[in-house]
């Protein structure tokens, strides 16, 4: 059994979806493990059927990979249903750890309200950080316990009242916040997700190839502080290695760190070497998949320091064999610079997979 761990080396948006889909296409018997984060991820690939962005499913899904949600992944039943129904190719098997955290509509709404009140662009609005804090601060249920409860709607009211203790719900949000239909629709989505997934430990499913697909990037990893411009998740190799320790028969583990020849970042927050897209390269066109959105604001660009990149990649990988994956090479030729620091480099000149 072989394992690949695909990790963003910077602030996210490096092209992890392209790398995951490429290795899934080249392999058979693939289980695509969604390692961390949640449905706020947006991993895009370009296929013969058009452009696709995966949020709650792995980017290897298009090439036949089954999916597994690790205990470090945050489930979102609403997004699961929406995306499952739109998939061109659906996974034959979808597994999940019984201890996955899961978001309810009030997590996402509280997230969006807070961002709007603070007038900032630092979140996708999926309620990831709010879900984690709620689990830490109030009695919670896992998804299957919620569905077995004789009063599941009361539990949703419990979450709703939790947020009302410290968030002033503005007038333009009150109708949807108080709507009973929100709870009923969400309960249906939860049942749908439970019916289309199998609960098991990762060690109990057997595939020839595991592809761990991380969300976000190394420069967004959890700092232990409640800051809006990082993520409450370990975005490097740590979670994947914890999961691999539980599996017998792993013969080969390789970490794949993904970068563009330049830096990008969504939202407010610090961006090293920030500049304009035009200043980076005359070949750099407007990004194919990342555009302005209300939650994250503008898609920003910066100069990539390859020495710094090498330092953070080697620090994260430790003694695990790793390879560098450079996407968007059609936009900027820095291959010789990457080779000088990293040796062998895998390059991607087209996003088509």
Q: What is the pTM of this model?
A: 0.94
Give the residue among 42, 35, 224 at the shortest CA–CA distance from 126. 42
Backbone angles phi, psi at 322, to 5 degrees: -135, 160
The pLDDT mean for the chain works out to: 92
Confidence (pLDDT) at 284: 87
Extended strands (E) in the chain:
2-8, 30-34, 37-38, 43-47, 50-54, 66-69, 73-74, 94-96, 198-199, 209-213, 252-259, 263-266, 274-275, 299-302, 322-326, 345-347
DSSP 9: S
- Confidence tier at 125 by pLDDT (50, 70, 90): confident
Q: Is the pLDDT of residue 159 over 90?
A: yes
Confidence (pLDDT) at 123: 60
- Confidence tier at 286 by pLDDT (50, 70, 90): confident
* Residue 278 to residue 215: CA distance in whole angstroms: 28
Q: Is the pLDDT of residue 227 over 60?
A: no
Q: What is the Rg, in whole angstroms, of the alpha carbon atoms belonging to the chain?
A: 20
Q: Is the pLDDT of residue 133 over 80?
A: yes
Backbone angles phi, psi at 16, to 5 degrees: -60, -35
- Per CATH, the homologous superfamily of domain 2-97+199-262+304-347 is Adenylosuccinate Synthetase, subunit A, domain 1 (3.40.440.10)
In the chain, % of residues over pLDDT 70:
93
Confidence (pLDDT) at 122: 54
Q: Is the pLDDT of residue 224 over 60?
A: no
- Mean pLDDT for the stretch of residues 202-206: 95
* Residue 136 to residue 99: CA distance in whole angstroms: 14
- Mean pLDDT for the stretch of residues 289-316: 83
Q: What is the DSSP string of 186-242?
A: HHHHHHHHHHT-EE--GGGS--SEEEEE--S-GGG---SS--TTS-SS--SSHHHHH
Q: Is the pLDDT of residue 250 over 80?
A: yes
Task: Spell out the domain ranges in the chain.
Answer: 2-97+199-262+304-347, 105-195
Confidence (pLDDT) at 120: 62
In the chain, % of residues over pLDDT 90:
81
In tens, the pLDDT along 184-194 reads: 999 999 999 99
Query: Among 18-32, 53-67, 238-252, 303-317, which is the least confidently predicted range?
Result: 238-252
């Amino acid at each position: 059994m072989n394992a690949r761990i695909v990790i963003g080396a910077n602030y996210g948006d490096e092209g992890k979806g392209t790398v995951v889909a490429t290795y899934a296409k080249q392999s058979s018997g693939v289980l695509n493990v969604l390692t961390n984060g949640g449905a706020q991820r947006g991993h895009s690939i370009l296929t013969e059927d058009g452009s696709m962005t995966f949020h709650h499913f792995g980017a290897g899904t298009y090439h036949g990979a089954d999916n597994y949600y690790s205990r470090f992944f945050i489930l979102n039943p609403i997004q699961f249903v929406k995306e499952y129904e739109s998939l061109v190719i659906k996974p034959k098997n979808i597994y999940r750890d019984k201890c996955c955290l899961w978001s309810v509509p009030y997590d996402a709404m509280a997230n969006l309200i807070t961002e709007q009140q603070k007038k900032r662009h630092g979140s996708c609005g999926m309620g990831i950080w709010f879900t984690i804090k709620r689990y830490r601060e109030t009695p919670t249920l896992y998804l299957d316990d919620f569905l077995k409860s004789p009063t599941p709607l009361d539990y949703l009211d419990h979450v709703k009242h939790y947020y009302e203790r410290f968030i002033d719900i503005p007038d333009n949000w009150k109708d949807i916040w108080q709507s009973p239909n929100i709870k009923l629709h969400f309960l249906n989505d939860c049942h749908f997700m439970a019916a289309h997934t199998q609960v098991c430990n990762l060690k109990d499913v057997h595939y020839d190839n595991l592809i761990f697909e991380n969300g976000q990037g190394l420069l967004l990893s959890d700092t232990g502080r409640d800051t809006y411009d990082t993520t409450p998740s370990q975005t490097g190799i740590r979670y994947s290695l914890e999961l691999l320790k539980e599996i017998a028969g792993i013969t080969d583990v390789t970490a794949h760190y993904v970068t563009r020849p330049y830096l990008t970042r969504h939202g407010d927050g610090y961006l090293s070497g920030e500049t304009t897209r035009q200043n980076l390269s005359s070949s750099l066109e407007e990004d194919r998949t990342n555009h302005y959105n209300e939650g994250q604001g503008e898609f920003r660009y910066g100069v990539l320091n390859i020495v710094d990149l090498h330092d953070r990649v080697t620090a994260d990988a430790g003694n695990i064999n790793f390879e560098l994956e450079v996407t968007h090479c059609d936009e900027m030729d820095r291959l010789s610079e990457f080779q000088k620091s990293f040796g062998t480099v895998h390059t991607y000149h087209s996003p088509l997979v």
